[in-house]
Each structure stands twice: as C-alpha cells, then as structure tokens.
Amino acid sequence: GKHTVKLDNKAADVRVKPFTLDMGIKFELHVTISGKKINVSEIPELSIPEDWMRDKLELNFYKSEQGGGGAVENVNYDKQSRTAVITFLRPG
C-alpha cells in the first residue's frame, strides 16, 4: 500500500511493492584489527550495488559487538580491490 513517511520535517509518500530475495550467500573474510579500524580483504565479488555491500559489512561488524565489534562510524569499501576499512566509534 501507500504510506507517508516523515523525515527531517518533510513528508514523503512511499509505496510498498513485493520483491523476491535471492538465497543468502556465505563467504569468508580476512580481517586485520587495529584500534578503531578493521581492514577487511578478499571480499567476494557479488552482483549487488556497492552501497548494499557497505551496509552488509556494517551490519556484520555491528552485530558482532560481543566479539570485538560495536557501533560503526564509517565503512570505506573499494570494490575494485575487494577491500574495506571499517571504522568504529570507539576503540576496542
């Protein structure tokens, strides 16, 4: 259906449309940890937009708060080199 969403004192009309999700993909990442940043390499090439990959990386390291993750400040993803630098809000 149609919905109205208010963002920053502005209203936007949005419409919900169903879509099919592809099967999940598991992959292995190689990580180097240093203070507030984690260097991730050998990120597999997936046929998804770069902003989706940044979101996936952010969620992965945010969810792992008990294992050394936490609130993410920035994700700098380089599709060509298949690397990313995850910067956290606090060192840990």
Percent of the chain, pLDDT > 90?
14
What CATH class is the domain 21-88? alpha beta
pTM of this prediction?
0.58
| pLDDT confidence of residue 76 | 93
Residue of 23, 21, 3 whose CA lies nearest to 13? 3
Is the pLDDT at 35 greater than 80? The verdict is no
Mean pLDDT of 26-41: 74
| pLDDT confidence of residue 5 | 79
Say whether 75 sits in a helix, a strand or coil: strand
Is the pLDDT at 34 greater than 80? The verdict is no
Domain ranges of the chain: 21-88
